[in-house]
Structure 1
Amino acid sequence: MATSSDEQAAGQHYLVCGIQDCQKNGQFYCNDCHQPMCEQCKDEHRKCPNTKNHDIVLYRQRKHRLPIEKCKLHPTKNVDIFCKECNTPLCLKCFLVKEHKGHEFDDLEEIYAEKYALWQGEFSKIQKYFLPTSEGLKTDIKEDVREIKKIMESIRTSMKAEAESLKNLVDEVTSEKIEHTHTMEKSFLQMLKSQEATYDDYITYLGEMSAKFQKYLSTTNQNLLSSEILKFKTIPEASKPVQPVFTAGQFNRDDVAKLLGRVNVPNTEPEKRKIQPMEAVSIPMKFTKKQMEQSKEKSAMKQTLSLSSSVTKVREYSIPGVYNANHISADKSGRLWVSDWQNLVQTDIQGNMLQEIHTSGYRDEGYHTATQDGGLIYTDKVKKKIYRITTDRKITKFIKIGDWTPLSVHSSHINGDILVGMYKDEEAKVTRYNKAGKEIQNIQRDNQGQELYSLPHYITENINGDICTSDHSKQAVVVVNKSGQHRFSYTGQGSGFRPWGICTDVLGHILVCDTVSKTVHLLNQDGGFLSRILSEQQGIDNPQGVCMDDENNLYVGQDDTNTVTVYKYLQ
């Protein structure tokens, strides 16, 4: 639990009253004295004759103090009046001179307050629209770079494969043609061998005839008178083979190029990058009277709350349909959604089951989140989609992720945006969608280009718009601002740290479960460790899921039990 020494080490948890020696919560503000006040000092301030007419408001509704600027004509006086006729800031002495007699004047502090609000609105636009949109476009370009490299490498591989195929065909055809020359040669040789044999026979015949003639000529013989002897066979005819001729193929580089595929860019207009219109992004500019009253009530409540010196157990109940309470989402009506390994159950405030869904979520993932309208959003990591459950229990497909696998999801209580932690191969990121499901921001790397996340398995949002992610693989709580700029990473208190469930409270504290120390760590808004707010002393054995409701109750779920315990630690 948080002790007074813990609180002092961590700094103030509320504004301190500006009246001398008063250390109470300065929830009010005197626009005339420009200092915060507690309720008691405010009452005394109004009773005092000198200050009874001072303008005292809630601190959040205070006027911002006019910067001190000396008058150029009267260096000892401060400028605090604005002459509308001369369009010039003046001091009290200038106001009294005759040159400004009869002119209309305005309180320069009022003008400054209006301008401050205007500039604050423009600053809000930069932070909530222009910066995230530009960062998103930059991320898209980086994605396109990776995609182009991947496509070009695939094309090169295809070209090499096609060339190899053509080479194989050339080798195959060449082998066939060479085999044909062997067949032709064999035919020619057979023909010539036959002719050679014919002449061998004829030469033998001539030898026989020559011997016969010689015999007749060497003796006197009546056979010489016979004319039949002089008749012998003539030389047989033989034809010369027609010699084959090789005719070279008629081709050049262009012919080869035509045989192979080619790379070209379609002659179409390039698609323009989608820039989300500003009206689709939740930037609070003008509020209705009802919204202003609600905001004042919440602001007043926040400024009267502080850390209690002890943690009080409020109630506990068992959740039917789950074995463990690994992740919890509480809606405005007090009903709970609790999940373990692929079981997601909704209960009423007595713990009775209202709805049961079988999902693809794992026990170490914050894969569901209650929405502002009382519904639920949950991820499906197998189908790579995000589903919405409305108050009438209808389940509809909400967002298609693509080839990324969704792990965690959070519905913003500030503007209704949807934050999704996801991964693909060796990469991980957090993507922001608006309430309509349109992608408006991607957060993946820090200013040095280093990967921010490894497995963002639980995610939430703080009151200042910071995105707080529990990364089980990095063993850290990674926090970025609403523009996606890395603010800090919390890695525990030196004895090992394995973060699971995470949530934030109305004062901006961050609460995260640590499965190593089996406690719940309480951090301030800037990542400073305040205390282990829940441990075995409060009956906690292995906390894994945490969430806050609208009554500032802390719900804690544990592993190996389906019991959810509710605590109070703010007063």
Structure 2
Amino acid sequence: MKKSGTLMIKMSDHMDPHFSAQDVLRCNLCEIAVPPLYCDFCQIHLCKACVGEHLSDESTEHNVSLYRTRVSATKYPKCSKHLHKQCELHCEQCDIPTCVQCVSSGEHLGHKQVNIEKILETKKETLQIDLQELENSIYPKCQEIASDIPSQKALLVENSKDFTTTLNKQREIWYNEIDIIIKNLKSEFDEIESKDTMALNSQEDHITRLIDEVTQSIACVKKLLASNDISLVFEYKSRNAEFRKLPPKLVYSLPKFMPQRINSERINELFGHLEAASTNSEEEHCNTVDPSGAISSPPNKPLINEPRVIKDIDTDYGESDGLYSVSCLSDDDVWTRGQDNMMRLYSLQGDLIKSIQTNSKTRPQDIAVSSDGELVYTDPKDRTVNIVKNTKVQAVITLEGWRPLGVCSTSSGDLLIVVNSDDRKQTKVVRYFGSTPKVSIQYHAKNQPLYSSFGIKYISENRNLDICVSDYTASAVIVVNQDGLFRFKYTGPSSTTKGSFDPVGIATDSQSLILTADCGNHCIHIIDQDGQFLRYIDNCDLNYPYGLCMDTEDNLIVADNGSGKVKKIQYYIK
């Protein structure tokens, strides 16, 4: 117990209501069992012998009555300025509890005061909505994902048995000549199975932790709903937005052994092959419950027939300066960079908010906005990646033998950097956590370079965690998964003549579509997450479009190099 003056609050008074029945009520001052009295203002139990001592504390008001006949009173917060007063009002302008003396003193002159119990009711309505979503949507979805994992594990085991049986039958026909092939295929299969099992185990651990957290949140919300302690209710911070983004549900295309008829001249080729397994993530989202009780699901947005410019602002970049990169700080403000050594922050009303000069006083190569809302830029001259905190430039990565080109900030808070060797013969993508390199991506599975050895390159992370690089020299967009395994190479739609595709800026949206600026053809390509061409944006008076980024509403922001303008383009139906 914790004692303050004559007020002692037992932890049992705040225990989960499902378990409080196991505790015997005791006087909060002397521990006598089953005290008959209760102070509504102090919210403590009292025996008859202790009432006098409790009432002698004149620092606060008291209202003692029989516990069995009491009417639960609201526990008002104490005023921070008038310690002996309770806050029974709430100032709407200041958004704080106030007491009558605060109001009468003129401190909140002209401000609207509301009965604080009305605020409590509003807060509890919000709590009730959160509880409804936690119990009816988020928790069942978590359970659904968790219940599906054992069956997928069983499929892996059963598929492993089928694979071994088929493989052994084929081995009886081929005998010793195929032992080496058998070993190679079994090793390949075991690696696939191991990765799939690890992926499922990882997801199982993740969803189990999430279920525990959701369960704790449910208990917390229920406890708050049962409490009249305004301070506790005001301290509540909803985690429902965090919980709504559920882990992806893994969907497997199981590997199968495909036997071939024997042909001694083509034994290696015709023995059979293992179809590559695929593990796709089906994004799971909880339905959102609004205050009216209506339920809505995340939309699958259709593309608009005619994309249109909804903002078109002039900048200070002229023809000699160029306008090469753009990155959203918010839906209203964007960072830009051109050919000079300044990076400029513009509002989408066309106002120049601030300018930052590079430390080297030479032009930056690319810019991005970090997960913390800070400007990041690459500087090939001094081989650094820099973060701007307020107006101070800090080098967080310094390279040796390599120069940074394109940069993007990932959903996990890492930085993806395209780097080029000093001799301009090698290019790779490196994932950094702070200043620490985590993953280096350079080669195709056949040990061939993924990227051209020099030239302009921009980078973006897709919503499905694929890494997308626009390679101007190779006239291609190269996409690998988060582990660096090659997925596809896009060189323009099939009707486009080879070499006429000039990709520069690249961005991805909430539907995992990939957009890249084709500067030489004055248009933007939209492709899906598997590299299939969907359409052009070529009707928005684009003049050598270069840098691209997305706002939170899936509007495309374009750095239009030829005109020096920043354009906001709507390409989804809203």
TM-score by length of 1: 0.49
The structure whose residues are more often strand, as a share, is: 2
Larger RCO (alpha carbons 8 Å, 6+ apart): 1
Which of structures 1 and 2 has the bigger CA Rg?
1
TM-score by length of 2: 0.49
